[in-house]
C-alpha cells in the first residue's frame, strides 16, 4: 500500500528563487505541451532559469510554496490587493489538489485584505483549472514573449 503524500503550504521566500525557477521551467516546458508549440514554450520559459528575476517577482507579492513530503512542487503568488500573478505546479504533481490548496489559501488572504474579486492572466493550460474554481473569462489576450505571441486569458472571480 502506498502512503498518501503529505501536502504542506508555507510562505514563499526570496531564498526559494532557484526552486521557483525550476518549477516554472518544468511547468512551462512540459506541462503546457498540449496547448503551446515548442517555439512558444521556449519563448515563454526563456533561455535559462534566472533566480535573480524570480527573487524580484517573489518579493513583490504574497506567495505560498506547496511541498509534497517536504519537496517543493508548486507555488502561487498574490499581488495586492487582488491579482493572482504566478500559479505553477510541477506536471508530476498535477491532479493532486495542490493548485486548489494554493488558490484557496491565497483567496482567504485576499478576502482578509478586503478584496472583492480575484483576477489573473492565465494560460490555455491553466484556464480549465481557474474555471473550475469560479473564474470567468473576461477576454482573450495575446502576450508577446521574446517576439513570439502566446494566447492567454484575463479572468476574474468575484469574492
Domain annotation covers residue 2:
no
Instruction: Tally the domains of the chain.
Output: 1
Domain annotation covers residue 154:
yes
Percent of the chain surpassing pLDDT 90: 85
- Tell me the average pLDDT of the chain: 94
Domain annotation covers residue 20:
yes
Q: Looking at beta carbons, which pairs linking 31-35 to residues 24 or more positions away fall under 8 Å?
A: 31/88, 31/89, 31/90, 31/91, 31/94, 31/125, 32/123, 32/124, 32/125, 34/125, 35/123, 35/124, 35/125
- Residue with the bigger pLDDT between 128 and 5: it is 128
Stretch 121-150: mean pLDDT: 97
Domain annotation covers residue 25:
yes
pTM for this model (two decimals)? 0.94
Amino acid at each position: 500500500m502506498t502512503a498518501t503524500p503529505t501536502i504542506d503550504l508555507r510562505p514563499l521566500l526570496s531564498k526559494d528563487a532557484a526552486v521557483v525557477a525550476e518549477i516554472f521551467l518544468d511547468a512551462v516546458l512540459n506541462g503546457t505541451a498540449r496547448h503551446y508549440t515548442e517555439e512558444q514554450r521556449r519563448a515563454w520559459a526563456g533561455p535559462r532559469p534566472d533566480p535573480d528575476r524570480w527573487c524580484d517577482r517573489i518579493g513583490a507579492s504574497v506567495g505560498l510554496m506547496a511541498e509534497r513530503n517536504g519537496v517543493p512542487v508548486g507555488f502561487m503568488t498574490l499581488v495586492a490587493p487582488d491579482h493572482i500573478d504566478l500559479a505553477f505546479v510541477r506536471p508530476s504533481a498535477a491532479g493532486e489538489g495542490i493548485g486548489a490548496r494554493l488558490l484557496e489559501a491565497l483567496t482567504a488572504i485576499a478576502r482578509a485584505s478586503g478584496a472583492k474579486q480575484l483576477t489573473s492572466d492565465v494560460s490555455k493550460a491553466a484556464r480549465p483549472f481557474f474555471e473550475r474554481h469560479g473564474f470567468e473569462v473576461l477576454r482573450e489576450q495575446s502576450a508577446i514573449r521574446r517576439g513570439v505571441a502566446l494566447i492567454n486569458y484575463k479572468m476574474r472571480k468575484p469574492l
